């Protein structure tokens, strides 16, 4: 019989397990870490950052106790600097490129330093950005995630009016619904959205399924930040058994739960997949009180979509990772899953892992808006170097276009498209 139940841990244990996973730097720690920087003139960390933040510049500001200046340096290139400081895979981006790696004493803690700066900005005193005079132009943005809101903020700064059409009842996109709760706790995603939209000129309409042809008629330009709304399925016997769920759906439910103790979780959990979503659901299952959690991946550790840091984080949280396992079927009794059966990709041997809950985390797909003239490439929206689609007045960015599925890349896509849209609107007559 399936052992799926809520309240495996006390409220105090859950609060501790889902508290901020990264301990922030205090002033002394930030000053000490900032003074480790070589302040490279041609800094490889800047080249490794998709948004091109002047990393030596903001770290120098921290070293001189100018946190406001540091925050402004970050946010003028990445308006989502606060969340990116928490969720970016810095081990393969800025910190991975840090020249201190060569010295053997470890890279600079760039992510923590970025967080230190952005956390100490007080927008209630004086918001760091102001709008240009209104242009009279209006742009429709589809999706209130990092790509859409990055584009919206950049357009609003240039004086354009923006209306954001969001399919859900809350903004934030992946940051609100898809990131592990311990990475962005304490309603951080909503507070960041409030900061971004405080510039003015941005209206968000919720629970909206906008039609592209109508948006093109009513607005001067359109930006699509759709994300990936579809979920790849596992065509496995037993996938309809009780206890089998899509990981992204459960993560969204967890992120919106008022009481984590109300979430049912199995005693023995199997996660099928190898990306960051697989890591996030596995670790959160463990932190909800699951006794045994196994990630089963069909290839080796080098092929996993999750970074080495994330893989190690899962293992230090008690998650077992098994490689070279190809799923065959899910077995159950009385309509509930009892085991996941795999075959070894190395020797063909079969292996059964007992479980009462299975999470499918094998990837997501883009669900583009229907338009016969909107060209696709490998299932995503095709764009040029400026984010322009096959339609002359429509741009796109973020996870719905080809590229790295990272928050920081989505921010850059939105920012880059906003520049192109602004030039287009300047040239547009009337």
pLDDT the model gives residue 326: 96
Kindly report, as residue ranges, where domains of CATH 3.50.50.60 are found in the chain: 138-229+367-427, 231-364
Do the Cβ atoms of 67 and 116 come closer than 8 Å?
A: yes
Asked if the 231-364 domain carries CATH number 3.50.50.60, the reply is yes
Q: pLDDT grade, residue 121 (50/70/90)?
A: confident
pLDDT the model gives residue 235: 86
pLDDT the model gives residue 117: 97
pLDDT the model gives residue 133: 96
pLDDT in tens, 362-385: 988 887 776 768 999 888 999 999
pLDDT at residue 429 greater than cutoff 70: no
pLDDT the model gives residue 232: 85
Q: pLDDT grade, residue 2 (50/70/90)?
A: confident
Q: Alpha-carbon distance 278 to 297, whole Å?
A: 9
Q: Alpha-carbon distance 236 to 387, whole Å?
A: 37
Among 296, 298, 295, 292, smallest CA distance to 356 is for 292
pLDDT at residue 170 greater than cutoff 70: yes
Q: Alpha-carbon distance 84 to 55, whole Å?
A: 13
pTM as predicted: 0.95
What CATH topology corresponds to 138-229+367-427?
FAD/NAD(P)-binding domain (3.50.50)
pLDDT the model gives residue 127: 76
Q: Alpha-carbon distance 121 to 119, whole Å?
A: 6
Average of per-residue pLDDT across 330-340: 95
Lowest mean pLDDT among 22-31, 156-165, 225-234, 264-273: 225-234
Asked if the 20-119 domain carries CATH number 1.10.1060.10, the reply is yes
pLDDT at residue 1 greater than cutoff 60: no
DSSP string, 173-237: THHHHTS-TTTS-TTHHHHHHHHHHTTSSEEEE-S----HHHHHHHSSEEEE-----EEPPP--T
pLDDT the model gives residue 122: 74
pLDDT at residue 354 greater than cutoff 70: yes
Q: pLDDT grade, residue 97 (50/70/90)?
A: very high
pLDDT at residue 124 greater than cutoff 80: no
Per the prediction, the chain carries an average pLDDT of: 94
pLDDT the model gives residue 430: 55
Do the Cβ atoms of 394 and 216 come closer than 8 Å?
A: yes
Kindly report, as residue ranges, where domains of CATH 1.10.1060.10 are found in the chain: 20-119
Average of per-residue pLDDT across 151-178: 97
Q: pLDDT grade, residue 108 (50/70/90)?
A: very high
Among 276, 315, 312, smallest CA distance to 294 is for 315
pLDDT the model gives residue 88: 96
Start-to-end C-alpha separation, the chain? 68
Bridge pairing between strands 336-344 and 350-354? antiparallel
pLDDT in tens, 261-315: 999 999 999 999 999 999 999 999 999 999 999 999 999 999 999 999 999 999 9
pLDDT the model gives residue 123: 65
Q: pLDDT grade, residue 223 (50/70/90)?
A: very high
């Amino acid at each position: 019989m399936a052992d799926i139940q809520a309240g495996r841990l006390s409220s105090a244990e859950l609060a501790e397990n889902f508290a901020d996973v990264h301990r922030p730097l205090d002033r002394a720690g930030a000053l000490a870490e900032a003074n480790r920087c070589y302040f490279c003139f041609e800094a490889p960390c800047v080249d490794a950052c998709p948004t091109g933040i002047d990393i030596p510049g903001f770290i120098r500001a921290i070293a001189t106790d100018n946190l406001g200046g540091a925050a402004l340096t970050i946010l003028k290139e990445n308006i989502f600097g606060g969340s990116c400081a928490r969720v970016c895979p810095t081990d393969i981006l800025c910190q991975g490129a840090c020249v201190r790696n060569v010295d053997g004493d470890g890279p600079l803690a760039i992510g923590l330093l970025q967080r230190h700066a952005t956390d100490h900005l007080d927008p209630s005193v004086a918001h760091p950005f102001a709008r240009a005079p209104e242009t009279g132009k209006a742009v429709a943005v589809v999706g209130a995630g990092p790509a859409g809101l990055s584009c919206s903020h950049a357009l609003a700064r240039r004086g354009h009016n923006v209306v954001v059409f969001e399919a859900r009842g809350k903004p934030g996109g992946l940051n609100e619904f898809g990131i592990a709760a311990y990475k962005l706790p304490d309603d951080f995603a909503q507070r960041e959205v409030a900061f971004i939209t405080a510039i003015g000129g941005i209206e968000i309409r919720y629970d909206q399924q906008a039609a592209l042809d109508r948006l093109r008629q009513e607005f001067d330009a359109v930006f699509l930040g759709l994300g990936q709304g579809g979920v790849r399925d596992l065509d496995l016997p037993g996938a309809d058994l009780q206890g089998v769920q899509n990981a992204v759906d459960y993560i969204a439910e967890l992120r919106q739960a008022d009481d984590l103790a109300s979430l049912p979780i199995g005693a023995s959990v199997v996660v099928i997949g190898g990306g960051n979503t697989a890591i996030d659901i596995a670790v959160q299952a463990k932190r909800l009180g699951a006794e045994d959690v196994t990630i089963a991946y069909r290839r080796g550790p080098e092929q996993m979509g999750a970074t080495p840091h994330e893989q190690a984080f899962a293992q230090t949280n008690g998650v077992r990772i098994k490689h070279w396992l190809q799923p065959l079927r899910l077995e159950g009794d009385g309509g509930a899953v009892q085991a996941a059966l795999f075959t070894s990709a190395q020797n063909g041997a079969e292996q059964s892992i007992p479980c009462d809950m299975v999470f499918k985390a094998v990837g997501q797909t883009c669900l583009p808006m229907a338009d016969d003239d909107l060209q696709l490439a490998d299932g995503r929206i095709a764009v040029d170097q400026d984010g322009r689609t096959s339609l002359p007045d429509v741009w796109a960015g973020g996870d719905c276009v080809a590229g790295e599925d990272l928050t920081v890349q989505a921010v850059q896509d939105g920012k880059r498209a906003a520049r192109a849209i602004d030039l287009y609107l300047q040239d547009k007559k009337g």
